[in-house]
Amino acid sequence: MTHISQFTLDPTQQREFSPPTLQQPSNLQALIKSGKIVIGTTLSFPSRHVAKVIAATNADWCWIDAEHVAWSPAVLVECIQVIIHESAARMIPVVRVPSKTSFVYMASCLDAGAGGIIIPHIETAEELKAAVAACRFPPSGHRSFPPFTFIPGLTDKTPPGETIFSIANKHVAIIPQVESRLGFENLESILDVCERENSALMIGFGDLRLDMNLPLAMSGDEPQFVQVIEKATMSAKKRGVPLVGIVRKEMLQQRIDEGFRLIVCCSDFLTLAMGIVGAVSETREIVEEYMQSRATEIECIDVGL
């Protein structure tokens, strides 16, 4: 008997959000509405090889960061497609684009099959609406038809009554990242758009703290900071808008209670770095202990004990 996860995803449930073909986006909007806790990782290395390794893991989604990493458009597109095809659409690639006006990047990522776009530094509902319009096909927006993506009769198959355009509009999630005082002042109107678009909200804790002239951190107990975060999480929860973010293990329970549902539990570069540090340290300790015991043994032999 197959066990069905109640709160997180299992392989059986992941198929419910798969696209009609591997050239089309997974249904991230439906996954967001499901209330499931979706666990992911990051891809910051502009590398098809790293993308292939990540696609083989059991993460539900992959946050590709093109804001703080200088991705070339060609490699970014290839890595999106590697994740989709190597995981057979089990893993959903979601791209944080360089800026809120990176409309060309948004189009390229969506044409490649990305299931979602994270828009950084959103401060008004109007900015978010502009990004949504760039990512939606008419009549919902003004995204252009990608003529070199779909092969008629092969990669454009859809359920009865649907088209590749309606599927894309219903599947792709546009996720704003709010990370400034102005953004949080306008949060209610931003959440209006999120609610209408079946989307989620990403809180930029670090940049918010810097904008509030507070030390860089992912959390804090300063009254002004706590007040902003509590108000934001309560407003999002009231509207049924889930939260997105990197969550450390020691804060996992708190973040879940606050409404986080799209969780990044690890990052590729930190996992690589700290994994190597841990392995080297452990090996060095074993070698030192063993060689010390051998040195003592040899010394005892030399003195005839």
- Residue 146 and residue 302: Cα distance in Å, rounded? 79
Q: Look at residue 284 and tell me if it is in a domain.
A: no
Which domain, by its residues, includes 58?
11-266
CATH number at residue 33: 3.20.20.60
Per-residue pLDDT of the chain (305 residues; tens, 9 = 90+): 455 678 998 877 878 899 999 999 999 999 999 999 999 999 999 999 999 999 999 999 999 999 999 999 999 999 999 999 999 999 999 999 999 999 999 999 999 999 999 999 999 999 999 999 999 999 999 999 999 888 999 999 999 999 999 999 999 999 999 999 999 999 999 999 999 999 999 999 999 999 999 999 989 999 999 999 999 999 999 999 999 999 989 999 999 999 999 999 999 999 999 999 999 999 999 999 998 988 766 666 555 55
83 occurs within a structural domain: yes
pLDDT of residue 3: 57
Q: Would you say residue 38 lies in a domain?
A: yes
Nearest to 145 by CA among 158, 136, 154, 153: 136
In this structure, is residue 3 part of a structural domain?
Answer: no
**pLDDT one-digit tens code per residue, 230-283:** 999 999 999 999 999 999 899 999 999 999 999 999 999 999 999 999 999 999
Phi (first) and psi of residue 264, to 5 degrees: -100, 115
Domain count, the chain: 1
- Note the pTM of the prediction, 2 decimals: 0.92
**Would you say residue 281 lies in a domain?**
no
Distance between CA atoms of 89 and 112, rounded to whole angstroms?
A: 13
- Provide the pLDDT for residue 132: 98
Task: Give the pLDDT of residue 1.
Answer: 44
- Spatial distance between the Cα atoms of 107 and 142, rounded to a whole number of angstroms: 11
299 located within any domain: no
- The answer to whether residue 231 sits within a structural domain is yes
Distance CA 88, CA 264 (A): 21
What is the distance between the alpha carbons of residues 4 and 94, in angstroms, rounded to a whole number?
Answer: 25
Which residues are CB-contacts of 136 (< 8 A; sequence separation ≥ 6)?
142, 143, 168, 169, 172
In a domain, 289, yes or no: no
